[in-house]
Amino acid sequence: MDLKKLLRPESVAVIGASDSEGFGGGVCRNILNFVADRRRVYFVNPRRVQVLGVTCYKSMADIDDTIDLAIICTPQKTVIPLLHEAAEKGCGGAVVFASGYSEVGTKEGIAAELALKQAAESLGIAIMGPNCAGFANYVGDVQAFAFVSANRDRRGSVGVVSQSGQLCLTMMDDPSMRFSFSISAGNAKLVTLEDYMEFLVDDPDTKVVCVYLEGVKNPEKFAAVLKQAAQKKKPVVMLKAGRSEKAGEIAASHTGSLSGSDQAFDAVLKKFGAIRVDDLEELKAMSQMLATLPRLPKKAAFASMNLSGGETTICADVASLYGIEYPDFTEETLEALKEQLPDYATPNNPLDTTATLSYDADLYAKVLRTVMADPNVEMILIGYTLLHEIADPSIHFMYEGIEKVSKDKDCKPIAMIPFMENTRNPEYSNKLFHIGVPILPPTTYAFKLLAYLSAYIQYQGDEKSLSLKCSSYTTKETDVYALSEYDSKKELMAYGIGTGAELVAKSEEEAVAFATKVDVPVVMKIESADILHKSDVGGVKLSIYGEEAVRNTYHEILANVREKCPDANINGILMAPMLEKGIEMIIGVNNDPLFGPIVMVGMGGVFVEVFQDVALYPAPLNMSEAKEMLQSLKSYPLLDGYRGGKPCDIEALCKTIVQVAAYACANVDTLQELDINPVFVYDEGRGVGIADALLVKR
């Protein structure tokens, strides 16, 4: 959808302009406060001659200009007629603040939204909302936001789109945030969140795409946009509601979004290298850090510089909590620092420069340059608590020092980390912003953000299969049914999974013939789609060898099952050569209603159940993604030559994972669930063995 007239209009009409509180009043005030060139901004209100000193038109028809964007501040029932009027003036975009649509969940509301959608489509108007707070375009000087906020320069390069107007406003209220666009998407079922994201990923003024979302409408488009961002290396930072069940429910009722599994969402973002954050402070600070830094560090290699020992230990400890490591300085750096710092300082990374340094801008610059020149270091973290009212003059000297260094051609990225959040001095916050130094939130947040940054710069999109296989799954109850073990294995065989050295014996004689032919101990299992827990009903017997044993077991199993499951439909007895034991793994697939097959891998038994040590990844996936999944397991060392043992056949295991994903993609419309448990992994070069498999289809 073309959002140009909506988000970058040449001419704007505010319908329902007003000087009282409310949508109309808010928009008009924001326009007067923030928009410098108002020559093509028109206020419309049939009952007013002037609003806030600006001439009012009775209707859009009276305006002697075309109208790109109509900002409709009036109640629900007026909206569709106004869209028709606007269309007459060439309108291509409209903001609709009114609520009472699908978000209320009533039949009337849903019908109203449908009617709005139809009108918009037939008139070719891109609609923001309904039930939204509007938007501000800080690069193009457009104000269509309904809530007022303090007067301040907000022009920057973070493009925000949010399904919550309040969170949008809170970010605009933050003194450190600077935007290209700030968009409150509202119900976002007409122009969707994915549409706005696509616009911002494309937009040259937007350096970072910053998203609050409660659910995804169009998973294919969502994936396509994330792929585009990954390829452009434009960071997407995302706060998504629904880590907890409660939040999932609230989000669904708030905007009526479909919600897939939150874990699937997590896995999808990981695949596309988008950054998922945990709260609004992180969303803001992560986005603003990425937007402020002139460039990102080449490696996650940080140096920390602080004015005191206490601060230095905090930077060491909190960094270690988030897996941030400080490389050692080289001998040259240490030598230089020993010369530059007072005698009682002990050069080290993290570095306590001692406070004396903060009263000498030249010396500060010198030490900063020394640290920056260290080849092991790619980004410098300056620990300093910038107060609102400056009681101590050290920031003057420090700033001067940093500013000198920031002009160096080979200046590496710098960020400032306060130890306590309070009121940051606006003058110095601004100055630091303008030389490309973001101030992060205090340490726990700061090092969490640096961990996000580290993961982001290490992400290699070109090694991933940047696509999803979304299903046409609907939330309707569908009949699901399980396949028998034999049928499950047979289906998987077609994708190269398993050996197929199995037979369903329909008679004692067939069983004996199989056992005689393979001439190794066999496993015998009841074969029935009706019996999922075969062991529980005496339906599984292991290590059977010799004709007599096979005959006896055949009858024993049938007797057990007839007694315990008299109604089960029995296909026979599944005969298979007894598999040698290896390391037990589980491979599963859950077909997510939004994102399609999500592959799960974990170590069998208590590892999955007690430690929840599993890796999830959306299909399709390639060998390097399968390997990444395995490596993300805490139990991975057990596969990789634990305690001097032989490494397992990780290659074969990865191949199986890739094949399972391929099977799931090919059967996305019929697969409900897949469970291979256990798959035995043998020593390197010796492959894997599929002991049991279960397909649930729909």
Query: For the chain, what is the radius of gyration of the CA atoms?
Result: 31
Which residue of 24, 129, 441, 602 would you call a contact of a copy of itself, by CB under 8 A? 441
CB of 482 to a copy of itself, least distance (A): 21
> Parallel, antiparallel, or unpaired: how do β-strands 93-96 and 69-72 relate?
parallel
- Judged by CB under 8 A, the chain residues 377 through 406 that form the site for a copy of itself are 385, 387-389, 391-392
Residue matched to tokens 């599984």: 540
Q: Which residues contact 638 (CB under 8 A, 6 or more apart)?
A: 583, 603
Which residue of 20, 150, 462, 566 would you call a contact of a copy of itself, by CB under 8 A? 150
- Judged by CB under 8 A, the chain residues 322 through 361 that form the site for a copy of itself are 326, 344, 346, 348, 350, 352, 355
| Alpha-carbon torsion (14, 18, 19, 23), positive or negative | negative
- Alpha carbons 11 and 101: distance in angstroms, whole number: 28
- Alpha carbons 436 and 433: distance in angstroms, whole number: 5
- Alpha carbons 160 and 193: distance in angstroms, whole number: 11
Q: Retrieve residue 658's tokens.
A: 């890739």
- Judged by CB under 8 A, the chain residues 291 through 310 that form the site for a copy of itself are 307-310
- Judged by CB under 8 A, the chain residues 548 through 607 that form the site for a copy of itself are 606
61 binds a copy of itself (CB under 8 A): no
With contacts defined by CB under 8 A, how many residues of the chain interact with a copy of itself?
88
Q: Retrieve residue 322's tokens.
A: 């988030």
- Alpha carbons 132 and 130: distance in angstroms, whole number: 5
CB of 36 to a copy of itself, least distance (A): 21
20 binds a copy of itself (CB under 8 A): no
444 binds a copy of itself (CB under 8 A): yes
- Judged by CB under 8 A, the chain residues 650 through 689 that form the site for a copy of itself are none
As to burial, measured by CB atoms within 10 angstroms (0-12 exposed, 13-18 middle, 19+ buried), residue 517 is exposed
Q: Retrieve residue 132's tokens.
A: 């939204």
Residue matched to tokens 């999974």: 497
244 binds a copy of itself (CB under 8 A): yes
CB of 115 to a copy of itself, least distance (A): 20
Which residue of 110, 139, 148, 493 would you call a contact of a copy of itself, by CB under 8 A? 148
- Alpha carbons 166 and 147: distance in angstroms, whole number: 9
- Alpha carbons 512 and 549: distance in angstroms, whole number: 9
- 243 vs 655 by CB, closer to a copy of itself: 243
Only one of the segments 48-56, 250-258, 452-460, 569-577 lies at the binding site for a copy of itself (rule: CB under 8 A); that segment is 250-258
CB of 495 to a copy of itself, least distance (A): 32
- 602 vs 620 by CB, closer to a copy of itself: 602
376 binds a copy of itself (CB under 8 A): no
- Alpha carbons 244 and 261: distance in angstroms, whole number: 11
Residue 314, CB-side half-sphere exposure with 13 Å CA sphere: 21
> Parallel, antiparallel, or unpaired: how do β-strands 236-240 and 275-277 relate?
parallel
For the chain, what is the total number of helices (H) and then of strands (E)? 23, 29
- 308 vs 467 by CB, closer to a copy of itself: 308
- Alpha carbons 525 and 534: distance in angstroms, whole number: 7
- Judged by CB under 8 A, the chain residues 602 through 661 that form the site for a copy of itself are 606, 610-611, 613, 634-635, 637-638, 642
Which residue of 209, 241, 531, 600 would you call a contact of a copy of itself, by CB under 8 A? 241
- The alpha-helical segments, DSSP class H, found in 293-439 are 309-321, 331-340, 361-373, 394-406, 426-434
- Alpha carbons 607 and 596: distance in angstroms, whole number: 26
Which residue of 157, 176, 672, 677 would you call a contact of a copy of itself, by CB under 8 A? 176
185 binds a copy of itself (CB under 8 A): no
Only one of the segments 51-59, 136-144, 220-228, 313-321 lies at the binding site for a copy of itself (rule: CB under 8 A); that segment is 313-321
108 binds a copy of itself (CB under 8 A): no
- Judged by CB under 8 A, the chain residues 64 through 103 that form the site for a copy of itself are 99, 103
Which residue of 108, 278, 548, 669 would you call a contact of a copy of itself, by CB under 8 A? 278
- 257 vs 667 by CB, closer to a copy of itself: 257
